[in-house]
């Protein structure tokens, strides 16, 4: 067994050991496993069966994580992406009114495009056409949108006539529970406790039980059936519904997330050699396969997780850590009652709230806001499009519109400034298509 592990993952060449990789894989799982509880709660808002979503999340995460470890031999785990699930549930299904089956169909097509490009080795090159300022702004804008949804799930932010939004009842049980969860997670993170978000979720749920905000449903059981979401995607419906712009957004969000995470995780770990990431395309291939299989099972875009840095910090240097994380995702299938408790709803003054997962969403939003530090705010032609991208996403509750404002303004400002030749022609094409989309929607 040890010889197989050595041959497959090259432990000695990477200056690591079996024990180190196991600890690293466990640490990564603890840090990112909050998605097991958050994903069903978010996608459940679309009418999807939450038990089936949990199973799909665990299976797709286990597969993509394993493939990354075996194909690329990197300790970079994968799971459904925060932000993508919000775009799926809130924008595509909520605001735009499409069924979750059609949304899954669009998500599947985007994953298939990514898969084909990864197979021919072109996926990584696509990211080069997007200006760095817009890449960072998209991440930050999604972070603000996620945080806003977390505040709404807590009841901290509510609808207010005349001013659109305002503060809710700060003395209500769900608000106080969400604040407690936020304090717990923040404190654990401040002390660099591995799995801070997961521990925060579990502690908050436990406190919510005696308050009556969380309903006890048990802890362990046989895995739920995946049948309610298995192969229920509507590919034909996605094509007939004119969801080409949505497919485009799903695709580019996946590419942005994957490349950004690979660079962010691999650079500090020393995996990048001479400015290039060996086997980077294999990692992107695993990502795309995870998305395609995930949509077939019944979950949104699967991508690389920045939380993998916690496992690397523990010394993980090979895909063996991913094997451990993958096995743990499979073991999580038996904790569906706990997931149902964590993601359960609580009705307060006609508001359907999710106070236990509110704090994790706010914290994830905080983590994604770090991207604003990498924007050149002194360069107006870069900064204004970035700013518009960041503010429009949460205020319009739309990742699509945030990206549209960013791309269109970037193209126009660069042209006016006389720097049009520095912009890739595909950026102009995307901008034109987005303008046409608005013309068709609002003028014609």
In sequence order, what are the residues at sequence separation of 6 or more whose Cβ sits closer than 8 angstroms to the Cβ of residue 385? 131, 133, 134, 137, 405, 406, 407, 409, 410, 413
| Alpha carbon separation from 436 to 289, 423, 443 (Å, rounded) | 32, 20, 10
147 neighbors 157 (Cβ within 8 angstroms): no
Angle 280-282-287 from CA coordinates, rounded to 5°: 95
Paired residues of 353 in beta bridges: 346
Nearest to 309 by CA among 27, 4, 5, 11: 27
Nearest to 351 by CA among 157, 208, 176: 157
Neighbouring C-alpha atoms within 13 Å toward the C-beta of 50? 21
Give the pLDDT confidence score for residue 233 in this predicted structure: 97
Distance from C-alpha of 408 to C-alpha of 433, rounded to nearest angstrom:
10
Which is it for strands 302-304 and 78-80: parallel, antiparallel or unpaired?
antiparallel
Neighbouring C-alpha atoms within 13 Å toward the C-beta of 102? 17
Sign for the CA dihedral angle at 19, 314, 206, 45 comes to negative
Give the pLDDT confidence score for residue 103 in this predicted structure: 97
Distance from C-alpha of 135 to C-alpha of 115, rounded to nearest angstrom:
21
329 neighbors 321 (Cβ within 8 angstroms): no
Q: Helix or strand or coil: residue 223?
A: coil
72 neighbors 27 (Cβ within 8 angstroms): no
Q: Helix or strand or coil: residue 302?
A: strand
Distance from C-alpha of 46 to C-alpha of 181, rounded to nearest angstrom:
25
Distance from C-alpha of 267 to C-alpha of 138, rounded to nearest angstrom:
21
Paired residues of 304 in beta bridges: 78
Sign for the CA dihedral angle at 425, 426, 432, 435 comes to negative
Distance from C-alpha of 434 to C-alpha of 385, rounded to nearest angstrom:
15
Nearest to 43 by CA among 109, 90, 111: 90
- The DSSP H or E segment spanning 160 is strand 157-160
Give the pLDDT confidence score for residue 374 in this predicted structure: 87
Which residues of the chain have a pLDDT value below 50?
A: none
- The DSSP H or E segment spanning 303 is strand 302-304
| Alpha carbon separation from 298 to 55, 266, 332, 399 (Å, rounded) | 9, 30, 17, 21
Distance from C-alpha of 426 to C-alpha of 365, rounded to nearest angstrom:
29
| Alpha carbon separation from 267 to 63, 169, 264, 352, 373 (Å, rounded) | 25, 45, 6, 42, 18
Give the pLDDT confidence score for residue 399 in this predicted structure: 82
Nearest to 258 by CA among 288, 228, 224: 288
Distance from C-alpha of 101 to C-alpha of 232, rounded to nearest angstrom:
6
134 neighbors 406 (Cβ within 8 angstroms): yes
Distance from C-alpha of 411 to C-alpha of 418, rounded to nearest angstrom:
11
Give the pLDDT confidence score for residue 325 in this predicted structure: 96
Distance from C-alpha of 6 to C-alpha of 10, rounded to nearest angstrom:
5
Distance from C-alpha of 259 to C-alpha of 209, rounded to nearest angstrom:
41
Sign for the CA dihedral angle at 307, 312, 313, 314 comes to positive
53 C-beta neighbours (distance < 10 Å), count: 31
Query: pLDDT, tens digit, for every residue of 190-237?
Result: 998 888 888 999 999 999 999 999 999 888 999 999 999 999 999 999
Give the pLDDT confidence score for residue 127 in this predicted structure: 61
* Global confidence as pTM: 0.83
């Amino acid at each position: 067994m040890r010889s197989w592990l050595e041959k497959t993952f090259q432990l000695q060449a990477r200056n690591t050991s079996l024990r180190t990789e196991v600890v690293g894989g466990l640490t990564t799982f603890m840090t990112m496993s909050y998605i097991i509880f958050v994903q069903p709660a978010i996608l459940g808002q679309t009418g999807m069966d939450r038990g089936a979503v949990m199973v799909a999340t665990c299976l797709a995460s286990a597969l993509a994580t394993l493939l990354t470890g075996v194909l690329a031999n990197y300790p970079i785990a994968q799971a459904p992406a925060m932000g993508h699930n919000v775009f799926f549930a809130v924008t595509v299904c909520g605001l735009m009114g499409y069924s979750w089956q059609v949304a899954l169909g669009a998500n599947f097509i985007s994953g298939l495009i990514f898969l084909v490009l990864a197979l021919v080795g072109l996926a990584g090159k696509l990211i080069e056409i997007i200006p760095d300022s817009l890449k960072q702004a998209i991440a930050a804008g999604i972070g603000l949108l996620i945080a806003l949804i977390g505040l709404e799930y807590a009841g901290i932010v509510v609808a207010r006539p005349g001013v659109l939004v305002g503060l809710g009842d700060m003395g209500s049980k769900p608000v106080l529970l969400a604040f407690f969860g936020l304090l717990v997670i923040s404190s654990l993170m401040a002390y660099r406790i591995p799995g801070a978000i997961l521990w925060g979720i579990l502690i908050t749920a436990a406190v919510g039980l005696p308050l009556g905000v969380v309903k006890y449903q048990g802890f362990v059981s046989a895995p739920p059936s995946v049948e309610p979401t298995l192969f229920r995607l509507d590919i034909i419906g996605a094509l007939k519904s004119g969801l080409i712009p949505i497919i485009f957004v799903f695709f580019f969000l996946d590419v942005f997330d994957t490349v950004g995470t690979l660079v962010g995780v691999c650079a500090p770990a020393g995996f990048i050699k001479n400015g290039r990431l060996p086997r980077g395309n294999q990692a992107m291939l695993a990502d795309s396969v995870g998305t395609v299989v995930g949509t077939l099972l019944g979950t949104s875009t699967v991508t690389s997780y920045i939380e993998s840095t916690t496992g690397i910090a523990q010394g993980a240097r090979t895909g063996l850590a991913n094997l451990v994380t993958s096995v743990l995702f499979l073991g999580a299938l038996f904790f569906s009652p706990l997931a149902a408790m964590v993601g359960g709803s609580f009705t307060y003054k006609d508001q359907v709230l999710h106070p236990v997962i509110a704090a994790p969403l706010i914290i994830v939003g905080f983590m994604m806001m770090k991207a604003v530090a990498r924007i050149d705010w002194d360069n107006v032609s870069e900064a204004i499009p970035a700013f518009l991208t960041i503010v429009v996403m949460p205020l319009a509750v739309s990742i699509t519109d945030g990206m549209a404002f960013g791309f269109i303004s970037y193209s126009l400002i660069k042209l006016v400034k006389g720097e049009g030749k520095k912009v890739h022609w595909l950026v102009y094409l995307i901008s034109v298509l987005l303008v046409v989309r608005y013309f068709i929607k609002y003028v014609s």
